[in-house]
Amino acid sequence: MKIIECPRDAWQGHHPFIPTEKKAEYINQLLRVGFDTLDFGSFVSPKAMPQVSDTASLLDQLDRSDSDTKLLAIVANERGAEQACSFEAIDYLGYPFSISETFQLRNTNTSIEGSLERTKWIAERCSKTGKQLVIYISMGFGNPYGDLWNPDIVLYWIDKLSSLGIRTFSLSDTVGVAKSTDIESLFSALIPQYPDLEFGAHFHTTPDSWRDKTAAAYQSGCRRFDGAILGYGGCPMAQDDLVGNMPTERLIEFSSEQNEYASLNISAFHTARNIFQELMGLL
């Protein structure tokens, strides 16, 4: 199992602003844990997301000298992608491609068709600069707006986007509505049909549903999972404080049960968890 830790998703909506040096201390500790990837920052409008406005400055303070963990930054448009591609330390760009028209407009201020053209541009830029693009299929398991959703829509867009040379897709349960049957249906269809692609799960979940969602994806062949320490963060549109990110603690627990215990430094993880609690005022 690959575990992608997402501090960016955990704190992007948090107030007040966390000083950059404090963020750097935390991410440097996460780099010692041994995660496959850190979703560490975002190149988006500082007005829209002030908490991640220091992503470029943050990079200058990271120490990757003794870590194989890769860095992923979220972008929402061409300008952000251009900026992210200018940093050698960044390995992956993540772009949220929504299959809900309403959410695509709200999240990136463009239509789905506009988002497709944007994705083409970002994919070409990543190819030229040696970066890899991860597409997050936002609202991948349904949406709260009444926009049409079914598994065939997901398969249609995976087929279309993979034709651009994109190799990694993370299905996002943006507002925590995914049902185990839909999770099984999607991963069971996608993974055998596209053996050269990597599929991941970015689940938002309530405390009582994390296991069902994780097990459904795992049993259907998924081995890439996003999480955030303590399940902090989540989508503001969920309008439910309990629908946060998938708790990383639960992913570590699950991977151990499957005898896929990731080669993580658990002592370093506990230290990171303590730092995070202090940053967020949870202690």
**Domain spanning 2-279: CATH superfamily:** Aldolase class I (3.20.20.70)
**Alpha-carbon span 150 to 119, nearest angstrom:** 22
Q: How far is CA 125 from CA 113, 117, 135, in A?
A: 19, 13, 14
Q: Are 180 and 213 contacting, i.e. CB atoms less than 8 angstroms apart?
A: yes
**Tens digit of pLDDT at every position of the chain (283 positions):** 999 999 999 999 899 999 999 999 999 999 999 999 999 999 999 998 999 999 999 999 999 999 999 999 999 999 999 999 999 999 999 999 999 999 999 989 999 999 999 999 999 999 999 999 999 999 999 999 999 999 999 999 999 999 999 999 999 998 889 999 999 999 999 999 999 999 999 999 988 899 999 999 999 999 999 999 999 986 544 444 557 899 999 999 999 999 886 689 999 999 999 999 999 988 7
Q: Are 92 and 133 contacting, i.e. CB atoms less than 8 angstroms apart?
A: yes
DSSP annotation of 151 reads H
DSSP annotation of 195 reads T
Q: Are 182 and 212 contacting, i.e. CB atoms less than 8 angstroms apart?
A: no
Max Cα–Cα distance, the chain, nearest Å: 48
Q: Where are the domains of the chain?
A: 2-279
Q: For residue 110, give the nearest of 158, 144, 240, 120 by alpha carbon.
A: 120
Using the structure block, give the residue that is written with the tokens 């296991």: 211
**Alpha-carbon span 279 to 257, nearest angstrom:** 30
